[in-house]
Amino acid sequence: MADYSQKDRLSKLTEQVVSTYTEIGTINHLGHSPLPHMDAIVKVTHDLMEIIYPGYQRWQKLHMGNVAYHVSDLIDGLRVELTQQIARALRHEQVLANGTTSSENVSSKDSLDEFEEPGQQRAIALLDSLPRLRELLAQDVQAAYEGDPAAKGLDEIILCYPGLQAITVHRLAHELYRLDVPFIPRMMAEWSHNRTGIDIHPGAQIGPSFFIDHGTGVVIGETTEIASNVKLYQGVTLGALSFPKDNQGNLVRNQKRHPTIEEGVVIYANATVLGGDTVVGAHSVIGASVSLMQSVPANTMVTIEKPQLKFREAL
């Protein structure tokens, strides 16, 4: 009797929960129009990093005699998986643009087929960028080595430094962002954020020889522009000063909201630089815990006055 009562209760609970899927339709995605899958995107990211850093990732017995076969196999698999995941993202974007929902008549296989060609074009464009991205990331690795006296060598940086992982994933995600791929760049960025504690929006434009030291708590907003040879320490925020709204009270999007950091700038721990009109001039230094909401000329050091320490006898 008790078991029957429990089953009846659970059955009613199931009905109540399912009924909310109609009442609260904003946080469920039902129908036959699947979104990109996070597990697939994570695997894609791992495979891309395997190509960028061969011998450091999952396969460590690689040499010039077998690496071409290994990379060829990865690239072929990536072409197939990326095509499918990007096609899903593009289809959903089109569904939203048409003002329909995921459950409204977008369930046929044909509705995905039409997005496979543009999906494959974007997948191949990302794969085509890998030689160029390797050159950029080699400069980032070197910048980390030259910027951190604790580093014993490049291998340590590639294997251990969260800042390098964050910028690696960012450079991959940014390529997809530039190709107008929905969802997937942000999925990659948030996966990396979860692993490293470093939050870089895939829209941020970051030049070569970029180094994040320690890294935890760094935030870089979507419209940030960072030139070459910039170094950030932990807790730095490159954020928005405000969020303007239109006459209907909606947020105004697609405007520059985040700062511009010119060449050779160093920003120390827990500093905050805000605003789309804020420019930190070349070779300037922003000291720890500075809160900056105005532009800084080139070759300027910005610090806050140190508070006085007071000593007294403990009670």
Q: Are residues 147 and 242 in the same domain?
A: no
- What are the backbone dihedrals phi and psi of residue 155, each rounded to the nearest 5 degrees, phi first? -60, -40
Q: Are residues 167 and 64 in the same domain?
A: yes
In sequence order, the 6+-apart residues with CB closer than 8 A to the CB of 116 are: 83, 84, 87
Q: Which of 197, 232, 251 is the last residue of a domain?
A: 197
Whether the predicted pLDDT of 6 surpasses 50:
yes
Q: Structural domain tally of the chain?
A: 2
pLDDT reported for residue 308: 82
Q: Which of 162, 197, 232 is the last residue of a domain?
A: 197
Q: Are residues 165 and 229 in the same domain?
A: no
In a domain, 229, yes or no: yes
How are beta strands 272-274 and 291-292 bridged, if at all?
parallel
CATH number for 46? 1.10.3130.10
What's the chain look like in SS3?
Answer: CHHHHHHHHHHHHHHHHHHHHHHCHHHCCCCCCCCCCHHHHHHHHHHHHHHHCCCCCCCCCCCCCCHHHHHHHHHHHHHHHHHHHHHHHHHHHHHHHCCCCCCCCCCCCHHHHCCHHHHHHHHHHHHHCHHHHHHHHHHHHHHHHHHCCCCCCHHHHHHHCHHHHHHHHHHHHHHHHHCCCCCHHHHHHHHHHHHHCCEECCCCEECCCCEECCCCCCEECCCCEECCCCEECCCCEEECCCCCECCCCCECCCCCCCCEECCCCEECCCCEEECCCCEECCCCEECCCCEECCCECCCCEECCCCCCCCCCCCC
Whether the predicted pLDDT of 260 surpasses 80:
yes
Q: Are residues 167 and 76 in the same domain?
A: yes
In a domain, 241, yes or no: yes
In a domain, 221, yes or no: yes
In a domain, 21, yes or no: no
Q: What percent of the chain has pLDDT over 70?
A: 95
pLDDT reported for residue 2: 60
- pLDDT greater at residue 251 or residue 56: 56
Q: Are residues 151 and 271 in the same domain?
A: no
pLDDT reported for residue 103: 46
- Domain of 74, in residue numbers: 31-197
pLDDT by residue (tens digit) across 179-207?
999 999 999 999 999 999 999 999 999 99
In a domain, 151, yes or no: yes
pLDDT by residue (tens digit) across 131-169?
999 999 999 999 999 999 999 999 999 999 999 999 999
CATH number for 269? 2.160.10.10
In the block, tokens 């939203």 appear at: 96
User: How many beta carbons lie within 10 A of that of residue 8, not counting itself?
Assistant: 10
Model confidence at 120, pLDDT cuts 50, 70, 90, reads very high
Q: What is the mean pLDDT of the chain?
A: 92
In the block, tokens 């996966």 appear at: 191
Which residue type occupies 5?
A: S
* Predicted model pTM: 0.90
Q: Are residues 175 and 52 in the same domain?
A: yes
Q: Are residues 147 and 187 in the same domain?
A: yes
Q: Burial letters for 275-303: b for 16+ Cβ neighbours within 10 Å, e otherwise?
A: bbebbbbbebbbbeebebeeebeeeeebe
In a domain, 50, yes or no: yes
How are beta strands 279-280 and 237-239 bridged, if at all?
unpaired
- The whole-number average pLDDT for the span 55-64 is 88
Q: Are residues 155 and 36 in the same domain?
A: yes
In a domain, 175, yes or no: yes
Q: Which of 197, 231, 246 is the last residue of a domain?
A: 197
Q: Are residues 170 and 254 in the same domain?
A: no
Q: Are residues 123 and 187 in the same domain?
A: yes
Q: Are residues 188 and 239 in the same domain?
A: no
Whether the predicted pLDDT of 102 surpasses 50:
no
Euclidean distance between CA atoms 233 and 277, whole angstroms: 22
pLDDT reported for residue 100: 58
- The whole-number average pLDDT for the span 221-246 is 93
Q: Are residues 37 and 185 in the same domain?
A: yes
In a domain, 101, yes or no: yes
Euclidean distance between CA atoms 260 and 302, whole angstroms: 16
